[in-house]
Chains A and B, each alone.
Chain A
Amino acid sequence: MTPLLQINNLKASVEDMAILKGVDLTVNAGEVHAIMGPNGSGKSTLAAVLAGREDYEVEDGTVLYRGEDLLELEVDERAREGVFLAFQYPVELPGVSMMNFLKQAVNSIREHRGQEPLNAAGLLKLTREKAALVNLDPSLKKRSVNEGFSGGEKKRNEIFQLAMLEPTLAILDETDSGLDIDALRTVADGVNSLRSPDRGFVVITHYQRLLDYIVPDFVHVMVDGRIVKSGGKELALDLEEKGYDWIREENGAVPA
């Protein structure tokens, strides 16, 4: 079976500074992969490159998404093909109502899949159903996208959109940052309910705690732009206990 995502020797830079120095990663449908690593190791860069952020220059390597070259696609084409990025810092869109935004996003993707666009009633129904998954206050739908949302609301809004857009590959970029334990549980419950045999997850996090709630199939450790160690969920516990330095030392890198 073709893997959902296949990254080979990916190298990328920002303003001539090399950040990713040869990443290899394969994600199959139905799997949850956690990527952990110290600050500055390149985790968020990987997410940004997969989503197609322009500031990042891919120097070498390939990324195949369902066997096709992902890097060839524009940002919105990737999204319509089913790649979803939950942002670490969701941007505010002043004046743009959540409903209008969702309508455009959902129907762009439906159109791409050859489905009829949803009408207002259909959209409202879907919204209600999905908002419940992450316990999102229904009144938020009336507000502008992310404007005036608390940190927790923004993160829940990302998972809510994940549910609305039903992607094939979901990348969660430090979704746990800034969340208290209750909010973390809510978000994790939302994500867990969205796990399915034909959907893959890449969960990027600095801390092991998130992985108590979103239990990964694989854990990868990223240091200095490379995945230096991979294992099962117990690897996350080792990291929690020992920190990242032992990995660094193991790999001959200079400890921070």
Chain B
Amino acid sequence: MIGLRQVILFFTATCFFQLLILAQETFPVNGVFNKNHNYYAFTHARIYRDYETVLDDGTLLIRDGMIVEVGEKVSVPKGTVVFDLKGKDIYPSLIDMYTNYGIPEVKKMPKPISPQYETTTKGAYDWNQAIKSEFNAVSVFTIDRKAADEYLKMGFGTVLAFQKDGIARGSAVVVSLGETRENEVVLADKAAACYSFDKGSSYQEYPTSLMGAIALLRQTYLDGLWYKNNQKKTEYNASLLAWNNLQALPQIFEVSDKLSALRAAKIGKEFSIDYIIKGIGDEYQRLEDIKESNCRFILPLNFPNVYDVEDPYDAMNVSLAEMKHWEMAPANPAFFEKKAIPFALTTADLKDKNDFWKNLRKAIEYGLSEKQALKSLTVIPARLLGIQEKVGRIKKGMLANFIITSGNLFDAKTKIYENWVQGNRHVINEDAIPDLNGNYDLKIGTDRQYVLKITGEPVQLKGIIVAGTDTAKISAGVKIENRSIVITYLSPLGKESVRLSGLITEKEGKPFFNGRGVLNSGEWVDWVAIYKSDLNEPLKKDSVGKEKPVIGEVYYPFCAYGEPEGSKSLWKRYKERQHAILIKNVTVWTNDSAGVLKNRDVYINEGRIVAIDHAIKPLKTAFAVEIDGTGKHLTAGIIDEHSHIAISGDINEASHAITAEVRIGDVIDCEDINIYRQLASGVTSCQLLHGSANPIGGQSALIKLRWGQSPEAMKIEHADGFIKFALGENVKQSNAGDNYVIRFPQTRMGTEQVYYDAFTRAKEYQTSWKIYQGLSKKEKTEQPAPRRNLGLEALVEILNKQRFITCHSYVQSELNMLMHVSDSMGFKINTFTHILEGYKVADKIKAHGIGASTFADWWAYKVEVKDAIPYNAALLTKMGIVTAVNSDDPEMGRRLNQEAAKSIKYGGLTEEEALKLCTLNPAKLLHLDKKIGRVIVGSDADVVLWSDNPLSVNAKAEKTIIDGLIYYDRDKDKKMQEDIQKERARLIQKMITARKAGEKIQVK
């Protein structure tokens, strides 16, 4: 039914009456002036002054596009045009604060063949093409009558318009949807500043990644401050100037998912900016964190359509996360309301704007209150944009922007009759079309008398004619045009065609038609139809009064193998108290001087290992889970020194040779299924590394695989900072194709120079800050602070031993080279990762105290791994170098214990030595060995219970424990799989039902 109503709404042409010409002071007039300062009064209406105040019988008085008075007793001056709105409602017109209305689309140029490292924007603008703060939407805004009509039909009167291009998108403009002249509809020229993580039309390489976009924004905030405070600056930068000027405006940030909403909020927190975040509608999946971000939101209503799941094989390709989102997305606004997070609603992201009302009603059906809906479409956006004194309410002194409806705006049956913008009337639906449904006595000429039954909606009425004496029914065409009606039919024998045209009027409050018609014979006759009775048919049920739909639970994380919120989940347990666990009679691989202990009990409490002994009695106070470890093995959790799982966006900021400013910690993806898969293989911690696209890559994140928790909660507390360096073919772009030959360096010679240059600059940077900080207060007022540089700051941290290098490396020459650079520049290399030719310079590596993290047996995939040997790990270990095996691969990350076992085969390490390659040694390399990597009293309870000797191909992780919590349990996994199947089955059933009920198919 909703759909049908919508059709009507839009079939009716929007009519536009220009009743008032506002004063356009500066414009000459061709002809005579047409000044009109009349009053218009709207009487006897139910007036929603705002989302919470209603006048049941009110009068609204407007003049010159403004509201003069509103109230129950308003005196109407002489010379007022009066509209009697008895039985009708007036609402403030709606505000959409996220549109591209009237802004031309930015056309993307063809991508250049060679990588573009510098901006192609001409002029004194920012170095980065995606920073377009100098752009003002008002400068390109033009009225778009077609688009305006679309918004008017939906009930909007005011919109914010911005240009969707770039990371800093410049200023947005607030306009009314008037159709007079741009000069009149612009309500606020610079109303907000817009941002995103998407570089848009820019082909400049930087940033190639999400973390690069974050770094670019952070650096630009610093540059803005520097530009503002530095009176002796040596450059003019129109973008930074504009950037600073826009800071006082509302700051709107568009993101692509809930995690990026949190990322934007984090930037906001760092620079004290209260972003208004334009989300995508999945925020309910991590609402606690969204709430804690303290941001305000703009929410779209583009709920996913139902998936085609009738073919069970097709259904397999729709993930549980997608199915659940289909079910739960309409409840997103209701979730926000319940949590009291302020939000505006927008039509943005809707592929078909016709879905706006349908989806808004759906959101209401799913629990959003009508009051909140109205608030989120009027007062909230007005307030967020600082235009609350102009629009959003029906209030004296505000713009005459309001809509007239047939009743409650949110009722599916309600029609919007008129949308007034700045005192200009736009007729959306003819309000005078009465409901014509009913039985009529139809008299044609003198001798024909029938019963005419009219059913259906005004645009597609149907007629049935029953002859007075006959039971035969003839269908008749019924067409309404303005106030006239046309009825046509063929007589029972099919021989006589009758065409009637008449006027619709009313008699005693009931429809009445009369007019002239032509019979088959060509004879003109009079006809009349008099309303006789109701159809007396039960009304079809529609959404009104429906019960609130039942939806599933939010999973943490929101995917298969996540935990339902309501169940006694890890999520909740974490917030409560830590569990105690007692593992009985198990073989313990301590990774310590005690070696391997047989038949011990291990007691875990408060996240720590508190006792390892024979026959431990559980403490009375703790509700210890007891696990029988007979025949099983307990080891420290596996630590993957080189992992790229759980990262949103590209793992490389593959643009500049030095990108020390980017941080993996900004882009942790806590919902990557590979986290769970690795837990299932005994992995408890990872170093999430930047890729190897540049000599100096980004900063690492050290995480524990706390599945279900937020990105920030996954980070290991108080861990040292690490950073990725890289050498060889990848940084020379040797295998990147023939177009990637212009970035410095293209050789190992150039790579060395990149380091010398970087650390030379870092030292100078450090000196300049030291000098500045040594100045007196007075001197500081005269001497501007040096420009902060996030990249150089990371390098200074390296020089100061506050950040540690993991360097991707293969051949001996480059290993040697970096050791020389580090010696002469005064920094230390923490780890060579890959280090496949490490065995050739093991003595030098040993002398430098550098650790190694290598592949067990990879080689032969490129020239620089030609001399890689699987004996590397064993040889380095025997040389006394702290050595780890790593995965660099989500699949191999599932078998690191087996990869470690290969060093028994290749090079003859002992089993204990081999196990340390993937446990204690990576812990040492990551400076975490005081807490993790051993099974000893006092260490973190990050342990794995194996079914077998952990170095055997037969060993399966049965329980993976982090901080004393069981994050993976092989027995529970079985049940989880069953639950996933059940939940999928429930949703598939629901989808099939929805599809049968006519819901559109989602193209994934």
Check if A and B associate: no
Q: Which B residues contact A (CB, under 8 angstroms)?
A: none
